[in-house]
């Protein structure tokens, strides 16, 4: 009998209704229409989709929710929405617009009880806690507010706390690797994944097919998230899944056509 | 074809409604048992803790049983499927509908097998004549997100393994259940919803 597949997740960073991608959290490049990209990924065999609001301010939140609705209406795979979710009300608006799961980051660090509130209302499976982590001296530091403000908790402590409070999954981003295409941070990912009982989604650094096979084996990740690597058609999803499958990594087959 | 989707407060219904629409039906949300009369089939969705099924009171249960006895097609999804059984270890004092025999139990994981079971896993056929799975490839991948699961019994059309081997798709006359989410399982999921609508339209 087969086992649970490793998941490939495409991330669309959205600003003012358009998809963009930052490099190490600085600079932006345009990369297409969110609905068109979402439909293409779904058709190509992506396992899940994440939509992140990267608008710096609270203005145009209505535009973002319109984008959430449009994307949700066009796909039938799990759909996660994050960025700027600061409260139960923000989460409710996002669920009402069609999200299956929400991803919370800074708001969870500031008020961890929000994790439990959302889990109690929508179920743990609908709550992802995202954490941005960088290596500083000998420790794994957690940063909030898009990588600009260091938290007092280290990554392991925070991941465990998030799990205890009811998070369904951890979305773990390596700030140091993000946008570099030099590979996921295997030490960080295996440390967190080996320490919590909930799924860990690795993020930051994807560049080659080998990076994905490494993060699923050495990195012990349950899922891998990538953005620009997929947007510019650097990796056809089907080719990547065939590569992983040939290395005995369980994947959901991509549609063949 | 109007499909009554029971809202008993166990999770977001938007995806289920969307999936049923895309499969070619007109779903509507029902909050009282009487509303079931205006539908052509019944869907019982649900995510989360079995405690949520406490909202499906004895009155709900007797009305749903009456519809089943009258030949209504019923599809339980995730928590909705678990509720079709006698009960769940997750909430030992709460009775399920009991149209399927057996109790749901917690998946048993280990260091390599994380619980809850989240992600895409395959359906391993247990019987060849499943109406819900007709026309699908041999071992289709579908999306799961759950901690408890139903036992493999005579009603099991497909089994799936995650630590424990459990019933992933079940069928007993015109009562169906999927532990996985057809509304989140891409084209395979939409096809299964269409098969359910086909059964609802037929009389067998």
Distance from CA of A126 to the nearest CA of B (A): 9
DSSP-derived 3-state class of residue B192: helix
Q: What does the block give as tokens for B172?
A: 């007993």
Residues of A in contact with B125 (CB under 8 A): none
A137 among known catalytic residues: no
Q: What is the pLDDT of residue A146?
A: 66
pLDDT of A29 over the 60 cut? no
pTM of the model: 0.93
Catalytic residues of B, by residue number, are 78, 181, 183
Q: What does the block give as tokens for A141?
A: 């530091």
Phi-psi region of A9 (alpha: psi -120 to 50; beta: other; left: phi over 0): beta
Tell me whether B145 touches chain A (CB under 8 Å): yes
Q: What is the pLDDT of residue A95?
A: 92
**Which tens digits make up the pLDDT trace of A103-154?**
999 999 999 999 999 999 888 999 999 999 999 888 999 998 766 788 878 9
Q: Name the helix (H) or strand (E) containing B32.
A: none
DSSP A89-154: HHHHHHHHTT-SEEEESHHHHH-THHHHHHHHHH-GGGEEEEEEEEEETTEEEEEETTTTEEEEEE
CA angle at A142 for the pair A162 and A106, rounded to the nearest 5°: 65
Q: Do B47 and A125 touch (CB under 8 A)?
A: yes
CA distance linking residue B180 with residue A188, whole number of Å: 31
Q: Chain A: residue nearest B19 by CA?
A: A76
**Which tens digits make up the pLDDT trace of B12-50?**
788 999 999 999 999 999 999 999 999 999 999 998 889
Percent of chain B whose pLDDT exceeds 90: 90
Tell me whether B49 touches chain A (CB under 8 Å): yes
**Which tens digits make up the pLDDT trace of A169-187?**
999 999 999 989 999 999 9
Q: Which of B147, B180, B177 is nearest to B164 (CA)?
A: B147
**Which tens digits make up the pLDDT trace of A188-242?**
999 999 999 999 999 999 999 999 999 999 999 999 999 877 766 655 788 999 9
**Which tens digits make up the pLDDT trace of A33-73?**
899 888 888 988 999 999 999 886 666 788 899 999 999 99
Q: Do A78 and B22 touch (CB under 8 A)?
A: no
How many other CB atoms are found less than 10 A from the CB of residue B89? 11
Distances in Å between the Cα of B61 and the Cα atoms of B44, B55, B72, B75, B176 are: 12, 10, 14, 15, 16
Q: What is the pLDDT of residue A148?
A: 74
Q: What does the block give as tokens for B73?
A: 């097609």
**Which tens digits make up the pLDDT trace of A2-27?**
789 999 999 999 988 888 863 332 33
Q: What is the pLDDT of residue B11?
A: 80
- Count of alpha carbons within 13 angstroms of residue A123, beta-carbon side: 23
CA angle at A178 for the pair A235 and A72, rounded to the nearest 5°: 60
Tell me whether B131 touches chain A (CB under 8 Å): no
Q: Do A95 and B14 touch (CB under 8 A)?
A: yes
Alpha helices in chain A (DSSP H): 34-44, 61-74, 88-96, 106-110, 113-122, 155-164, 186-193, 209-216, 228-231, 237-246
pLDDT in tens, chain B (204 residues): 999 999 998 887 889 999 999 999 999 999 999 999 999 999 999 988 899 999 999 999 999 999 999 999 999 999 999 999 999 999 999 999 999 999 999 999 887 889 889 999 999 999 999 999 999 998 999 999 999 999 999 999 999 999 999 999 999 999 999 999 999 999 999 999 999 999 999 977
Q: What is the pLDDT of residue A153?
A: 87
Tell me whether B125 touches chain A (CB under 8 Å): no
Q: Do A95 and B22 touch (CB under 8 A)?
A: no
Q: Chain B: residue nearest A217 by CA?
A: B112
CA angle at A240 for the pair A236 and A245, rounded to the nearest 5°: 145
CA distance linking residue B55 with residue B10, whole number of Å: 9
Percent of chain A whose pLDDT exceeds 70: 90
Tell me whether B66 touches chain A (CB under 8 Å): no
A13 among known catalytic residues: yes
Substitution target in A92, A222, A225, A252 with the highest count of B β-carbons within 10 Å is A252
Distance from CA of B45 to the nearest CA of A (A): 14
Residues of A in contact with B14 (CB under 8 A): 72, 95-96, 98
pLDDT of A245 over the 70 cut? yes
Q: Which of A170, A232, A171 is nearest to A196 (CA)?
A: A170
Q: What is the pLDDT of residue A190?
A: 98
Q: What does the block give as tokens for A85?
A: 């979710």
Residues of B in contact with A4 (CB under 8 A): 113, 117, 119-121, 162
Contact indicator for A178, A205 with CB cutoff of 8 Å? yes
Q: Do A122 and B12 touch (CB under 8 A)?
A: yes
Tell me whether B82 touches chain A (CB under 8 Å): no
Tell me whether A147 touches chain B (CB under 8 Å): no
**Which tens digits make up the pLDDT trace of B91-107?**
999 999 999 999 999 99
Q: What does the block give as tokens for A174?
A: 């390596």
Length in residues, chain B: 204
DSSP-derived 3-state class of residue A8: strand
CA angle at B158 for the pair A73 and B123, rounded to the nearest 5°: 55
Q: Do B122 and A198 touch (CB under 8 A)?
A: no
């Amino acid at each position: 009998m087969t086992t649970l597949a490793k998941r490939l997740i495409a991330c669309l960073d959205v600003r003012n209704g358009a998809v963009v991608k930052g490099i190490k959290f600085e600079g932006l490049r345009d990369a297409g229409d969110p609905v068109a990209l979402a439909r293409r990924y779904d058709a190509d065999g992506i396992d899940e989709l994440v939509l992140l609001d990267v608008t710096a301010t609270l203005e145009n939140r209505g535009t973002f929710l319109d984008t959430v609705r449009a994307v949700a209406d066009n796909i039938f795979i799990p759909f996660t929405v994050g960025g700027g979710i600061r409260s139960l009300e923000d989460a409710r608006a996002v669920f009402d617009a069609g999200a299956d799961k929400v991803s919370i980051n800074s708001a969870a660090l500031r008020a961890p009880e929000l994790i439990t509130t959302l889990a109690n209302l929508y179920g743990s499976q609908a709550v992802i806690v995202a954490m941005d982590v960088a290596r500083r001296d000998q420790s794994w530091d957690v940063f909030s507010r898009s990588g600009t403000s260091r938290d007092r908790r280290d990554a392991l402590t925070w991941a465990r706390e998030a799990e205890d409070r009811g998070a369904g999954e951890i979305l773990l981003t390596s700030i140091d690797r993000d946008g570099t295409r030099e590979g996921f941070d295997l030490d960080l990912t295996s440390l967190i994944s080996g320490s919590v009982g909930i799924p860990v989604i690795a993020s930051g650094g994807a560049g080659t097919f080998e990076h994905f096979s490494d993060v699923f084996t050495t990195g012990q990740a349950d899922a891998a998230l990538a953005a620009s690597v997929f947007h510019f058609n650097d990796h056809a999803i089907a080719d990547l899944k065939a590569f992983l499958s040939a290395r005995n990594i369980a994947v959901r087959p991509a549609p063949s056509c | 074809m109007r499909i009554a989707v029971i809202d008993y407060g166990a999770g977001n219904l938007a995806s289920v409604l969307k999936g049923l629409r895309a499969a070619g039906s007109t779903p509507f949300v029902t909050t009282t048992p009487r509303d079931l009369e205006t539908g052509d089939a019944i869907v019982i969705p649900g995510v989360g803790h079995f405690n949520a099924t406490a909202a499906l009171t004895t009155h709900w249960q007797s009305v749903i049983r009456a519809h089943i006895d009258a030949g209504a097609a019923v599809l339980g999804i995730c928590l909705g499927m678990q509720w079709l059984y006698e009960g769940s270890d997750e909430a030992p004092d709460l009775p399920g509908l009991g149209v399927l025999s057996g109790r749901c139990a917690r998946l048993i994981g280990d260091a390599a097998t994380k619980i809850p079971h989240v992600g895409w896993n395959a359906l391993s056929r247990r019987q060849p004549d499943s109406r819900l799975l007709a026309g699908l490839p041999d071992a289709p991948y579908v999306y799961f997100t759950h901690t408890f699961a139903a036992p493999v019994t005579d009603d099991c059309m497909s089994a799936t393994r995650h630590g424990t081997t459990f019933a992933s798709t079940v069928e007993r006359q015109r009562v169906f259940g999927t532990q996985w989410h057809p509304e989140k399982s891409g084209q395979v999921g939409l096809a299964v919803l269409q098969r359910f609508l086909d059964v609802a339209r037929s009389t067998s």
